[in-house]
Amino acid sequence: MRPGTFVRLAVAGNRTDAARVALTALSALLASLAVLAALSVLAIQTPPGDSGAHSEQYTNALLREPGLRGGTAFAILLLTIPVLALAGQCARLGAPTRDRRLAALRLAGATPGQVTGIAVLETGLASLIGTLIGLASYLVGRALLHRPDTDGRLPLPTDVLPTLPELALVVLALPMVAAAATALMLRRITATPLGVVRRTRRAGPPRPWPALLIALGVLGAALFQPIREASGDRLTRWFFVGVLVVAFAAVLGVILGAAWISRQTGRLLHRHASSPAQLLAAGRLSEDPWAGSRTFAALLAALVFGAGAAAFRAQFQLRDDIERKQNWQSDFGDGRNEFYLRAVDLVDLAVAVAVAIAAAGLLVMLIEGITARRRTYAALVAGGVPRATIGVSILWQVLTPMVPAVLLALGAGYTIGRLLNPDIVLAGDWETVCRATTELCADPATRDRHTELVRTGGMTYSPDVPLDQLALLGAGAVAATLLTVGLGVLFLRQNTAVEELRAG
Amino acid sequence: MTQLQARGLVRSYGPTPALRGITMEVAEGEIVAVTGPSGCGKSTLLHCLAGILRPDAGEVAWRGHRIDTWSEAARSRLRRTEFGVLFQFGQLVAELTAAENVALPLLLAGTGRRAARTAALTWLDRFGVAELADVRPGEMSGGQQQRCATARALVTEPRVLFADEPTGSLDTLTGEQVLTQLVRLAREQRTTVVLITHEPRIAAYADREIVLRDGVIDHTGLGLDAAPVTGGVR
């Protein structure tokens, strides 16, 4: 096949295909922006002479301090997780139509390799366009945001640029990764010359074993402090890696556990369904519980990190309050140090962005679900089922597993965050105490044998559970989901049109 | 008594006319087959008569009440309570069992779940598929699915059943079995049936046949708009 034909076939398709291409390009754009932002942070030079010297040209300590830049870049890179989840949802958009098109190409004589190549090329081209637009946006944004303050300091690293090989790597590697992911996803699809597309389904219902992963994460977090205390400073550098492993175990457990939650809530809803909307939702949840896992993956991951960050914030806030109190008592003034709280602000911002991106992924999934089932929905509407009933069933279908899954994510995230931030124990003064009778203590010959040094006036402070923040996170996620469902249901009318029922 | 009445129905899809002035009547308990070649407007006529589509011009009346002027909600309610609708395929909800699918219209009408299931089982039994009550559509054959769909269309004991190529996706033998059961039960219930088909042997089950061609009725000279082409009312 000539390259021109190959490309023409790759970009052919209907409106849904065009939407998939556009959303894939958008995902690549967002991912490239995140990677370029992280590379920009890493491109900041430390002043020569001292490896710990601050880069004073920046207003933000996260950019100024060399020890914090790696973590900042990593936090920005974490944003690519929801973006990749969005890309995964986009790849499913219009998949049945695309599969039929691929089967038709096989019927016309294309080889299985050519058919896979066409799908891979579609994703690769869309991603390449996305990364190129992302690079252009980055360069333009960098110029527009280069606004030094009166002291000549910058809020963002707009004075540095990743190296040319790095820029080239972003533009080329992201489309290649996306294309490879598409090839991987297509491994379960067989387009035969007879136009039949076969899929192998995931076997068996979801089991509750992901709870073990969550338990592992919690256990790991619980062991951190004792290990840290026992090992002194020797394992400090492994602390960050350990936190990540624990967090990812919990995130994975929550995401996979969402499938089990979907199935259980579906069965429960089925047992107690009192309306057709509930019955329809229960049927869908029981039939494909993995959909919940796929749908909410990015959202739940964001919530686990968000709840963990809330625990860190509570700890930082408490520490800040204690220090301010001590400073005030010692006449050192207010002495506020909100550096760590500002760092958590950055994490919160990342979580908010992740929730927004995850909501976009959810919207894509909803529209895809409605489109894939349009004939059934159209038949129901033709039979007199109000569209509102179908809309409400979609709402039940989304919210029923989501609410417990959100609670689980918040609970797991907060618990891990809290365990990593133990109570603050303030030591009091050392005092000599004699633990014997008055006579023995009074006698200099015996007193020393019965005296010991003890701390007095020590205090243990426990951070409050940040219920308001956790509630805000949960409510925000549910509100974003409700908004998404509302937008998705708007597509019901056009997908339940009577034209869907024409016998052909 | 006249159950359905259409006067001067006109309906187009963009610049393409589908119906160009159809006038017809269907009596209570009558089984009418609407036949004609592909693209002649059969399905559009059924959709207009069932209140699924509004005609661009003309009137549709059910038992003397004009329904084409009703709101969509009112027409949906009418379809839910007085009409049954049956299509060629794709109408069963894949995630629900056969009994749940059949019970769905009753649940929508406010019937309790237990009572709706009992009624559904009765209708599944009438179509000889009671043993599939707890089976999902994906595990049934095409004929079994269509029997369930027909049971669902009749479970509310509608006054009118609209069937659009109900056996179009089935083999000849299965199609005839389904249709025989449908016609027998419709006659027992005195249900009016409007049956869309392009197969003469399917149309033979009807009391009367209306032939459409290019959006108009193919007249036979009997003085009625809706007149039999092959031998009048059987």
Taking the CA atoms of residue A258, residue A262, residue A265 and residue A271 in that order, the dihedral angle to the nearest 10 degrees is: -160
Residue B209, classed as helix, strand or coil, is strand
Cβ atoms of B32 and B206 within 8 Å: the answer is yes
Q: Kindly state the tokens that stand for A281.
A: 């939702």
| Residue A232: DSSP 8-state | T
Same-domain pairing of A79 and A165: yes
| Chain B partners within 8 Å of A389 (Cβ) | 108
pLDDT at A307: 93
Residues 6+ apart with CB under 8 A from B86: B149, B150, B153, B161, B162, B163, B164, B166
Task: Tell me the sheet residues that pair with B59.
Answer: B7
Query: Do A379 and B91 lie within an 8 Å CB cutoff?
Result: yes
Same-domain pairing of A432 and A483: no
Q: Kindly state the tokens that stand for B51.
A: 């209140």
Q: Measuring CA to CA, which residue among A72, A76, A47 is closest to residue A62?
A: A72
Same-domain pairing of A151 and A113: yes
Position B212, amino acid: L
Same-domain pairing of A359 and A502: yes
Of B94 and A3, the one with more pLDDT: B94
Same-domain pairing of A182 and A306: no
Within-domain flag for B11: yes
- Distance, in Å, from the CA atom of A136 to the CA atom of A153, rounded to the nearest integer, reads 25
Q: Where are the beta strands (DSSP E) in chain B?
A: 2-13, 16-27, 31-35, 57-62, 65-66, 83-86, 160-164, 192-196, 208-213, 216-217
Query: Do A274 and B113 lie within an 8 Å CB cutoff?
Result: yes
| Chain A partners within 8 Å of B105 (Cβ) | 383-384
The b-or-e profile of A324-355 (16+ CB within 10 A means b, else e) is beeeeeeeeeeeeeeebeebbebbbebbebbb
pLDDT 10s digits, B39-64: 899 989 999 999 988 999 999 999 99
Mean of pLDDT over chain B: 86
A503 touches B at CB < 8 Å:
yes
Same-domain pairing of A389 and A272: yes
| Cα dist from A425 to A265, A275, A323, A457, B4, whole Å | 43, 55, 13, 11, 85
Domain boundary among A200, A225, A259: A200
Cβ atoms of B109 and B76 within 8 Å: the answer is no
Task: Tell me the sheet residues that pair with A243.
Answer: none
Domain boundary among A167, A200, A233: A200
From the CA of A499, how many Å to the nearest CA of chain B?
Answer: 9
Q: Tell which of A263, A269, A374, A385 to mutate to test the B interface (max B CBs under 10 Å).
A: A385
Question: Which of A274, A286, A386 is the closest to B76 by Cβ?
Answer: A386
Q: How many CA atoms lie within 13 A of A346 on its CB side?
A: 21
10-residue averages of pLDDT along chain A (504 residues): 64 71 88 92 85 83 80 81 76 70 68 78 89 95 90 89 92 88 71 54 75 90 81 67 83 90 92 90 86 81 91 88 77 64 78 84 82 84 87 91 93 92 78 82 82 76 90 93 88 76 53
pLDDT 10s digits, B178-212: 888 888 888 888 999 999 988 888 888 899 999 99
Query: Do A383 and B84 lie within an 8 Å CB cutoff?
Result: yes
Residue of A nearest to B53 (CA): A498
| Residue B216: DSSP 8-state | E
Same-domain pairing of A442 and A453: yes
Same-domain pairing of A148 and A214: no
Within-domain flag for B65: yes
Q: Tell which of B95, B114, B202 to mutate to test the A interface (max A CBs under 10 Å).
A: B95
Going by pLDDT thresholds of 50, 70 and 90, the confidence category of residue B31 is very high
Within-domain flag for B53: yes
Within-domain flag for B182: no
Task: Tell me the sheet residues that pair with B33.
Answer: B195, B209
Same-domain pairing of A100 and A226: no
A385 touches B at CB < 8 Å:
yes
- Distance, in Å, from the CA atom of A456 to the CA atom of B131, rounded to the nearest integer, reads 79
From the CA of A271, how many Å to the nearest CA of chain B?
Answer: 10
Domain that holds residue A128: 1-200
Question: Which of B73, B90, B165 is the closest to A379 by Cβ?
Answer: B90
Same-domain pairing of A231 and A309: yes
| Chain A partners within 8 Å of B79 (Cβ) | 382-384
From the CA of B223, how many Å to the nearest CA of chain A?
Answer: 31
Q: Where are the beta strands (DSSP E) in B93-214?
A: 160-164, 192-196, 208-213
Query: Do A498 and B93 lie within an 8 Å CB cutoff?
Result: no
Residues 6+ apart with CB under 8 A from A385: A276, B76, B80, B104, B108
Within-domain flag for B230: yes
Question: Which of B52, B83, B168 is the closest to A503 by Cβ?
Answer: B168
| Cα dist from B3 to A330, A497, B9, B192, whole Å | 94, 26, 17, 8
Q: How many CB pairs under 8 A join A and B?
A: 88
Within-domain flag for B151: no
- Distance, in Å, from the CA atom of A24 to the CA atom of A177, rounded to the nearest integer, reads 12
| Chain B partners within 8 Å of A286 (Cβ) | 95
Q: Where are the beta strands (DSSP E) in A175-279?
A: 189-191, 197-199
Within-domain flag for B76: yes
Question: Which of B78, B95, B105 is the closest to A287 by Cβ?
Answer: B95
What are the φ and ψ backbone dihedral angles of A446, each rounded to 5 degrees?
A: -105, -20
Cβ atoms of B17 and B40 within 8 Å: the answer is no
CATH classification at residue B29:
3.40.50.300
pLDDT at A328: 73
Taking 50 as the threshold, does the pLDDT of residue B222 lie above it?
Answer: no
A395 touches B at CB < 8 Å:
no
Same-domain pairing of A194 and A285: no
How many other CB atoms sit within 10 Å of the CB of residue A193? Answer: 14
Domain boundary among A182, A200, A218: A200
Task: Tell me the sheet residues that pair with B12.
Answer: B17
Within-domain flag for B156: no
H or E element in which residue A301 lies: helix A290-329
Domain that holds residue B11: 1-82+193-234
Question: Which of B85, B94, B108 is the closest to A389 by Cβ?
Answer: B108
- Domain count for chain A, please give it: 3
Taking each helix axis from N to C end, the angle separating A80-92 and A164-185, rounded to the nearest 10 degrees, works out to 40
Residue A351, classed as helix, strand or coil, is helix
Same-domain pairing of A193 and A221: no
Position B56, amino acid: D
- Domain count for chain B, please give it: 1
Of B164 and A81, the one with more pLDDT: B164
Taking 90 as the threshold, does the pLDDT of residue B80 lie above it?
Answer: no
Query: Do B164 and A503 lie within an 8 Å CB cutoff?
Result: yes
Position B167, amino acid: T
